[in-house]
């Protein structure tokens, strides 16, 4: 882009658009996650985590929950999280108890919305493409 070809008014307009885009990317949006009914930790605890790529490996930053509410027998619980998400964040969550498989879900954030990803490999590829 050759900025010398722009008028002063066009340059000011471009600056304002760039500032608005930067602000939009920095603004977070709060979102609420919760377990389905009473969660039984057969494959591990319920959690919500932000994924990072360190080298070629996935790292997780786990969000603290709002607390657990234990169900009748004390082996299962309800849990919820309020987290702030930002553009291009990748989120992993285990909120549902699977009977035979670990039921985790992956998302990326686009325009303040959670967009589902198919699996951890797709989440990893998304993070690689951000670099």
- pLDDT per position as a tens digit, 33-51: 999 889 999 899 999 999 9
| 3 pLDDT higher than 90 | no
Which pLDDT does position 120 carry in this prediction? Answer: 95
**Predicted confidence band at 125 (pLDDT cuts at 50, 70, 90)?**
very high
- Band of pLDDT at residue 83, cut at 50, 70 and 90: very high
67 φψ region: left (φ > 0), alpha (ψ -120 to 50), beta (else): left
- Residue matched to tokens 């035979």: 100
Q: Does residue 17 lie within any of the structural domains? A: no
Is residue 77 in a domain? yes
- Is 24 inside a domain boundary? no
**Would 8 be classed as within a structural domain?**
no
The answer to whether residue 84 scores a pLDDT higher than 80 is: yes
Q: Is residue 34 part of a domain?
A: yes
């Amino acid at each position: 882009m050759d900025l010398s070809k722009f008028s002063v008014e066009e340059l000011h307009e471009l600056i304002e658009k760039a500032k608005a885009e930067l602000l939009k990317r920095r603004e977070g949006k709060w979102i609420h996650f919760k377990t389905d009914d009473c969660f039984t930790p057969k494959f591990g605890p319920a959690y919500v985590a932000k994924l990072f790529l360190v080298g070629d490996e996935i790292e997780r930053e786990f969000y603290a929950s709002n607390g657990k509410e234990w169900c009748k027998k004390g082996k299962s619980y309800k849990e919820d999280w309020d987290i702030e998400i930002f553009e291009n964040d990748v989120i992993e969550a285990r909120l549902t108890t699977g009977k035979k498989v670990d039921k985790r879900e992956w998302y990326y954030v686009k325009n303040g919305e959670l967009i589902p990803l198919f699996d951890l490999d797709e989440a990893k590829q998304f993070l690689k493409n951000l670099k």
